[in-house]
Structure 1
Amino acid sequence: MYRNLEAEMVREGISRKDLAELLEVRYATIIDKLKGKFGFTLDEAFKIRNSFFSDLSFEYLFEVTTTSAS
């Protein structure tokens, strides 16, 4: 999961639909990628960062977080 990316999207008012349009993929594809079912390609990640979050580090924005089952 990309918690930092999703948090920044909320802060900046960027929707999942905005990402889908930017990357020219289906909305469902963005959902799958944000949930971690599939990863973003390097090109996609740079496109997102450069288009919406140029002031944030790539490492922060695309840090992968996992949930632990306790």
Structure 2
Amino acid sequence: MLRTLKAEMVRHNVKAKELAELLDVRVATIYDKLNGHYDFSLTEAIKIKRYFFPNYEIEYLFEKVEDRSA
């Protein structure tokens, strides 16, 4: 799960729909990737970082955190 990216999206009012439009994918695909079902490609991660979060390190935004409730 990408908790940091999700938290920064909330802080910066970035919606999943905006990520989907940037990457030209379905919103459901973005949710799957945010929840750890699939990974963002390096190209996708770089686009997201450059467009929405230029002041953050990519390692910070895309650090995976295991979901302990599963």
| 1:56 match: secondary structure | coil
Q: Deviation of residue 51 (structure 1)?
A: 0.3
1:61 aligns to what? 61
Q: Structure 2 CA distance, aligned partners of 1:63 and 1:43?
A: 16
- After TM superposition, the structure 1 = structure 2 runs for residues 1-70 of structure 1, keeping only pairs within 5 Å, are 1-69=1-69
Q: Structure 2 CA distance, aligned partners of 1:34 and 1:51?
A: 17
Uncovered stretches (5+) of structure 1, i.e. residues with no partner: none
Provide TM-score, normalisation by structure 2. Answer: 0.95
Amino acid at match of 2:40: F
Question: 4+ residue stretches of structure 1 with deviation over 3 A?
Answer: none
Q: How many residues of Structure 1 are paired with residues of Structure 2 in the alignment?
A: 70
**RMSD of aligned alpha carbons:** 1.2
| Percent of residue pairs bearing the same amino acid type | 51
| 2:68 match: secondary structure | coil
Q: Structure 2 CA distance, aligned partners of 1:58 and 1:38?
A: 17
Provide TM-score, normalisation by structure 1. Answer: 0.95
